[in-house]
Amino acid sequence: LTSTMYPDVVRDERFGKITAEDIKYFTSVLPPGSVLTAAEEDLSGYNIDSMRKYHGQSQLVLKPRSTEEVSLIMKRCHERKLAVVPQGGNTGLVGGSVPVFDEIVISMSLMNKIRSFDEVSGILVADAGCILESTDQYLAERGYIFPLDLGAKGSCHIGGNVATNAGGLRLLRYGSLHGTVLGIEAVMPDGTIFDSLGKLRKDNTGYDIKQLFIGSEGTLGVITGISIFCPRRSKVVNVAFFGLESYEKVQKAFVKAKGELSEILSAFEFMDTASQEQVARFSELRRPLDEPHNFYVLVETSGSNRLHDEEKLQTYLEGLMESDVIADGVLAQDETQVKNLWTWREGIPESLGKSGGVYKYDVSIPLDELYQLVEDTRVRIQEFGHDIGTEGSNVVNVVGYGHLGDGNLHLNVAVKQYDKEIEHILEPWVYEWIEKRHGSVSAEHGLGFAKKPYLKYSKDQSVIELMRQVKKVYDPNGIMNPYKYI
Ligand code: FAD
Ligand code: 2HG
Ligand code: ZN
């Protein structure tokens, strides 16, 4: 069997095919409503990813409610060599969350309970299927914050976040999940429960195996629970949004932000003018600044003393104005304005998606060359005879934005429709460009299906070989999220 979607990929015939007996087994061990078959339900929501770029053909979706149920599912899948795809909120951007062929989807959406929260230490233990925004809301009511935030918060799961090692908007403040996740509970491919749900900030007792699950994208096991260190929620949040005329000035503003806003700096996001025009095309909001600028930066501070924080931010902005680094800027005056300013950053992916398709490159590059990739991409597309943004052209927009504070660029090429010719203009050229700068072909979205062939541009063969060995040890039959990652 080959997929119409992926003509170069062949179904691995070592995997079993789902039988009536399997369905009977799953129905007998799971509560009513937990076994969804294509014969009875429309499963397209589980088979198609959020960009509508990847389509699988799964005939079976299982929705466990407990770790024990996941274990019973995996025991059967192990015996019968049935391939599975763990699925969280299905917001992933690399085609990792949907099947390629007929893999069983294990949807974690019904495993959504907070297990415990310690109001002294700030340590939260929760099911993997808790939605990020609801979890953060739960914490907000107790004066705490989830140490990760991203545009898909209303749909993505905290288990999915850990499985992808999501970075998001405040990594610069709260660090990576490799630091904040304290424990993981997961079900291994043979149904064994891996119990490393510790709540200790310090624990140097041997190999830190749980780290392997962070960013494993469903290839090693099904994450069922996490324990995570949550900081106190800042009482005062301020947001400034300003325009600058060059990428060099963006870097200057960043260095100054680190020096002057220091411990209260919680986000430093940058956007180019093309990305802001794209948001404006679909937004009813008034643009934050009257005049257009080549670049924009959103700076957020989070602290505990309003006067102190506002004074710092004000002084920072005045300094930038006086030294001619920024051309114009605004400071949010209330919570609504904070939210509105964030829309100009968080709304970029959604506005690009409205064009049709988007080729997404989520890359780490040394800061001084970060924006050069966007400019070189525009030149390359034009050299191959494609206009950008004209009525007759398939290429709608080429934009650059991202988490500048983390050296993470999002280069997005929006098209009216996905087109192999455009894809071949961009790939592997983009990855070769990154390899030359010793960057990463995936800063935060992971490998999934999309990046699997390009891993070699970022990782040495010696590392890839060890990754292969790890995969073999944990998942000898290769049933966990096959055809992807490695
Ligand atoms: P899914 O998409 O369902 O799955 C993603 C991968 O994790 C798949 O390989 C899946 O098999 C695996 N997986 C999911 N749950 C489990 C589990 N319980 N056990 C084992 N494996 C599992 N990402 C960022 O890093 N930073 C951002 O700023 C960011 N912003 C985004 C904004 C938008 C608008 C969108 C649509 C996406 C964004 N993303 C971002 C990408 C995506 O939201 C994140 O990768 C997110 O962490 C995925 O979570 P999910 O629950 O939707 O996982
Ligand atoms: C963001 O930072 C996300 O907004 C999505 O990581 C980026 O869609 C993208 O390319
Ligand atoms: Zn991002």
Mean pLDDT across the stretch 429-440? 98
CA-proximal residue: ligand 2, atom 9 (nearest): 349
Single pTM value for the model: 0.97
Please give the distance, rounded to the nearest whole angstrom, from the Cα atom of residue 265 to the centre of ligand 3: 18
3 pLDDT higher than 90:
no
Please give the distance, rounded to the nearest whole angstrom, from the Cα atom of residue 482 to the centre of ligand 1: 17
1 pLDDT higher than 60:
no
- Report the alpha-carbon distance of residue 218 to residue 459 in Å, rounded: 20
Q: What is the pLDDT of residues 148-165, one digit of tens each?
A: 999 999 999 999 999 999
Q: What tokens appear for 349 in the block?
A: 């992916």
Q: What is the pLDDT of residue 7?
A: 79
CA-proximal residue: ligand 2, atom 6 (nearest): 168
Query: Does 132 sit in the ligand 1 pocket, CB within 6 Å?
Result: no
8 pLDDT higher than 90:
no
Please give the distance, rounded to the nearest whole angstrom, from the Cα atom of residue 104 to the centre of ligand 1: 18
CA-proximal residue: ligand 2, atom 8 (nearest): 349
- Other beta carbons within 10 Å of 311: 11
- Report the alpha-carbon distance of residue 311 to residue 244 in Å, rounded: 22
Place of tokens 């947001």: 239
Helix orientation angle between 335-346 and 273-282, rounded to the nearest 10 degrees: 110
Q: Which contacts (CB < 8 Å, 24+ apart) does range 384-387 have?
A: 384/425, 386/422, 386/425
Contacts of 330 (CB under 8 A, 6+ apart): 240, 241, 242, 288, 289, 341
Q: What is the pLDDT of residues 30-80, one digit of tens each?
A: 999 999 999 999 999 999 999 889 999 999 999 999 999 999 999 999 999
Please give the distance, rounded to the nearest whole angstrom, from the Cα atom of residue 101 to the centre of ligand 2: 27
Q: What tokens appear for 481 in the block?
A: 């999220």
Query: Does 471 sit in the ligand 2 pocket, CB within 6 Å?
Result: no
- Report the alpha-carbon distance of residue 318 to residue 118 in Å, rounded: 42
Query: Does 410 sit in the ligand 2 pocket, CB within 6 Å?
Result: yes
Ligand 1 atom nearest residue 129's Cα: 18
- Report the alpha-carbon distance of residue 223 to residue 160 in Å, rounded: 8
Q: What is the ipTM of this complex?
A: 0.99
Confidence of residue 2 (pLDDT cuts 50, 70, 90): low
- Report the alpha-carbon distance of residue 298 to residue 349 in Å, rounded: 16
